[in-house]
Amino acid sequence: MISVLAADVGGTRTRTGLLKDNGDIVSQAAFSTLPEEGSYSFAKRLTKSLQLHINSAPLGAEIRGIGVSVASPVVMDTGQLIDPPNLIGPNWNGFSISDYLKRHFEMPVATGNDANLAALAEHRMGAGIGSQNMVFLTLSTGIGSGIIINNQLYTGANGFAGEIGHMTLDFQGEIGSCGNIGCFETMASGTAIANKAKEITKCTNLELRPSPLHKNIGALDVFESAKSGDSTSTKILAEVSQILAAGVLNIIHIFDPERIVIGGGLSNNLDLFLPQVEQYTNNHAMAHVAGQTRIVKAQLGDEVSLIGASILATTTLF
């Protein structure tokens, strides 16, 4: 049985696993990333977790390489991380997970951006099966994306393509954490939904139903309140849906994909904003592309980037 080790490194949690070369998960585990402790402390814990998968591998398993997904811009040739926004701590910028793991395990390693690898996984094994041109959009704390063109993952000249979450939609908008003005992520992510709710409730002394007003209110509270008929939450989601629709329309006009696959935490409530997005894009798309792109929910769940990391390994290392 040909297998690969895989890791999905997030700002809060890291998943590891042993997967078959067809993407099936043989074993998996998770641990806290703790980026504040620095990249070297993390790398030691990562190697320990991966070693446990080797130790418990089924008899006959032939482990040929390692794939790593990281929530960061990645130089794919070297595995170096470039200013990772969610990995704040010592020695992360410029750190190469690939080099570290190669030295420890003496096997080939491939590292890529998590949204890109999620796109790869959904295209090969999930909601994108059968499409040749697809855009994956992950809606969560932020907005990430990956692009498939002619059945190939598109990474651009330097490996950093797909930052759709940072395209500007409002030149007079807020400055986001990325330093850009009025970007898609700042206006339509889970963080944006939570911030809108906090601002409205702060200014009006309203409480979202059924969730009581509290300083840690999140996007999930807004969704749950909207489902219960809360008018404030419904208004927030209507506004965000319109912004999301504008972003999706830009994607359609730029890439003309057969499918846009939406994943991430917000996709669990896709039914609350998908009708508005579809109506807006059908009404405002140029005539020759109107109605040509299907917008669908991702299928692979929380393991999507782990599966994508294994696919990266099997397709680039073997």
Give the global pTM: 0.91
CATH code matching the domain that covers 129-298, chosen among 3.30.2350.10, 3.40.50.620, 3.30.420.40, 3.30.499.10: 3.30.420.40
Q: How many CA atoms lie within 13 A of 9 on its CB side?
A: 33
Walk along the chain (318 residues) and give the pLDDT tens digit of each residue: 789 999 999 999 999 999 998 899 999 999 999 999 999 999 999 999 999 999 999 988 899 999 999 999 999 889 999 999 889 999 999 999 999 999 999 999 999 999 999 999 999 999 999 999 999 999 998 899 999 999 999 999 888 999 999 999 988 888 877 788 889 999 999 989 999 888 887 765 556 655 554 557 888 889 988 998 888 899 999 999 999 999 999 999 999 999 999 999 899 999 999 999 999 999 999 999 998 999 999 999 999 999 999 999 999 887
3 state DSSP class of 12: coil
Instruction: Report the CATH fold assignment for 2-119+302-316.
Output: Nucleotidyltransferase; domain 5 (3.30.420)
The token pair that represents 1 in the structure block: 């049985």
Domains 2-119+302-316 and 129-298 share a fold: yes
Unique residue bearing structure tokens 């601002």: 199
Q: How far apart are CA 189 and CA 304, in angstroms?
A: 19
Say if CB 177 and CB 88 are below 8 A apart. no
Domain ranges of the chain: 2-119+302-316, 129-298
- Strands 109-113 and 62-70, bridge-based pairing: parallel
